[in-house]
Structure 1
Amino acid sequence: MIEIRDLTLRYPGVTVLEVPELTVPDGGLTYLLGLNGTGKTTLLRCVCGIIAPATGTVGVDGVPVRAHRTTPATLGMHLNFQAFDPRHTARRHLRWIARARGLPVGRVGEVLDTVDLTSVADRRLAHYSLGMLQRVGIAAALLGRPRTLLLDEPLNGLDIAGILWMRNLLRRLADEGACVLVTTHLLDEVERNADRVVMLGEGRVLTDRPLPELMRTLGPGETTLEDAYLRIAGPLAASTIGGTL
């Protein structure tokens, strides 16, 4: 579970995030939506302790997150598909992460099987496709059998088979009790698979509710999650569509 209270993050002259309260529950798949630059990745980095907020608290599975200190043991994350040494193989990369986090190296083979990379695990990452690199990142996030999992745009670069695989994996992890928080721009996939939807706009939470409840708010002429998003995001989405941002 992720619990955020009274969180603000400021850069000189601008407030980047302002989240008075947000709880992401266990046993559910929550999608974090928003236009580019609205603070989605920044919020994930605050949860991981990579960025220190100006005020407020973040807790993961009941443990306070302290910025720039040890990552909570129950937290797994994949925030950047480019965070690899291209000279390494997938197996070597995962072994390095396991040793750095004090995890059993034997777990590497298990997560390679989970993400279906065992047959290419000894190939250098420089020769991996974007979709394959996404799978390596997810494997790294799963090394510690996390109770809470953060994934930033994990669907980018996946083909149809990869998206189906990802959909089933996220659903299985949530159904097994994990707290799963995912950012994406693929609203069709969110509508297929989400339990809960959080929308950000200009660093603020615009809505936070179960997907079925959100879909019940659709008005006349609205039929999809995209319709709900455009209504809730309002001028922010309209200005982007119009090319002014």
Structure 2
Amino acid sequence: MIEIEGLTLRYGAATVLDVPELTVADGAVTYLLGLNGTGKTSLLRCVSGVLAPGAGSIRVDGAPVRAGHSTPPNLGVHLDYRAFDPRHTARRHLRWIARARGIAGSRVAAVLRLVDLESVADRRLGRYSLGMLQRVGIAAALLGEPRTLILDEPVNGLDIAGILWLRELLRRLASDGVCVLVTSHLLDEVERNADAIVVLGPGRVLAAEPLAALVAPGVRLEDAYLRLTGPVGAS
């Protein structure tokens, strides 16, 4: 579970985030939606301890998140598919992360199987496609068998088979009680897979509720989203 209270983040005089209260539940796939520049990635970075908010508190599974400290043990994060050394293999990359976090080395083989990269695990990451790099990042996030999982745009670069695989993976994790928070711009995929939706406007939460409460029968998520955010391109 993710619990946020009184969070603010500013860059100079500009307020990037102002989130008085937000809870992301266990046992659900929650999608974080918003136009580019509304603060989605900044919010995920605050929850992950990468950014320090100016005020407020963040707790993951009851443990406080403090920027610059160790990642909460129950938190798995994949924020950037570019955060790899292209000279490393997937296996070496995952072993390095496991060692740094005090995770048993046996988990490396397990997550490589989970993301279907066993056959290419010893190929250098510089030769991987975007979709394969996304799988490596997801594997790294799952190394510690997290109770809370954060993924930033994980569908980018995945082919149809990869999207179906990810959808099934997220549903399985949520069924096991994991809190899953994912950003996406693909509203059709969100509508198929979401239990709950958080919509960000410029730096603030416009809605945070179950999908069924946000989307009435016969109404598309796209229409509900545009009612909250206004037409795309509007100022």
Common topology (TM > 0.5): yes
* Structure 2: 5+ residue stretches without partners: none
For 2:132 and 2:233, locate their aligned partners in 1 and report how far apart those are by CA, in whole Å: 34
Aligned to 1:16: 16
For 2:19 and 2:163, locate their aligned partners in 1 and report how far apart those are by CA, in whole Å: 31
Aligned to 1:213: 213
Among candidates 219, 222, 229, match of residue 226 of structure 1: 222
Aligned to 2:148: 148
What does the per-residue CA deviation read over 1:82-124, in whole Å, with 9 as the maximum and x for residues that have no partner? 0000000000000000001010111100000000000000001
Aligned to 1:86: 86
For 2:189 and 2:213, locate their aligned partners in 1 and report how far apart those are by CA, in whole Å: 17
What does the per-residue CA deviation read over 1:6-33, in whole Å, with 9 as the maximum and x for residues that have no partner? 0000111100000000000000000000
**Counterpart residue identity of residue 96, structure 2:** W
State the Cα distance separating 1:238 from its structure 2 match: 4.0
What does the per-residue CA deviation read over 1:181-239, in whole Å, with 9 as the maximum and x for residues that have no partner? 000000000100000000001010000000011112x7xxx73100111111015x342
Q: Which secondary structure does the structure 2 equivalent of 1:138 belong to?
A: helix
User: Is residue 3 from structure 1 mapped to residue 3 from structure 2 by the alignment?
Assistant: yes
**Counterpart residue identity of residue 107, structure 2:** R
Q: Which secondary structure does the structure 1 equivalent of 2:72 belong to?
A: coil
For 1:177 and 1:54, locate their aligned partners in 2 and report how far apart those are by CA, in whole Å: 31
Identity %: 71
TM-score by length of 1: 0.94
For 1:54 and 1:82, locate their aligned partners in 2 and report how far apart those are by CA, in whole Å: 27
Q: Which secondary structure does the structure 2 equivalent of 1:8 belong to?
A: strand
Aligned to 2:70: 70
Instruction: Report if the CA contact (8 A) 1:149-1:180 is conserved.
Output: yes
Q: CA RMSD in A?
A: 1.0
For 2:169 and 2:105, locate their aligned partners in 1 and report how far apart those are by CA, in whole Å: 22
Q: Which secondary structure does the structure 2 equivalent of 1:20 belong to?
A: strand
Matches of residues 41-52 of structure 1 in structure 2 within 5 Å? 41-52=41-52
**Counterpart residue identity of residue 224, structure 2:** A
User: Is residue 185 from structure 1 mapped to residue 177 from structure 2 by the alignment?
Assistant: no
What does the per-residue CA deviation read over 1:147-176, in whole Å, with 9 as the maximum and x for residues that have no partner? 000000000000100000000000000111
Instruction: Report if the CA contact (8 A) 1:230-1:238 is conserved.
Output: no
For 2:133 and 2:16, locate their aligned partners in 1 and report how far apart those are by CA, in whole Å: 29
Count of residue pairs the alignment pairs up: 235
Instruction: Report if the CA contact (8 A) 1:17-1:39 is conserved.
Output: yes
For 2:71 and 2:124, locate their aligned partners in 1 and report how far apart those are by CA, in whole Å: 28
* Structure 1: 5+ residue stretches without partners: none
**Counterpart residue identity of residue 227, structure 1:** D
For 1:66 and 1:10, locate their aligned partners in 2 and report how far apart those are by CA, in whole Å: 17
Instruction: Report if the CA contact (8 A) 1:29-1:180 is conserved.
Output: yes
For 2:197 and 2:27, locate their aligned partners in 1 and report how far apart those are by CA, in whole Å: 14
**Counterpart residue identity of residue 79, structure 1:** L
Instruction: Report if the CA contact (8 A) 1:28-1:196 is conserved.
Output: yes
Matches of residues 147-186 of structure 1 in structure 2 within 5 Å? 147-186=147-186
For 2:165 and 2:209, locate their aligned partners in 1 and report how far apart those are by CA, in whole Å: 26
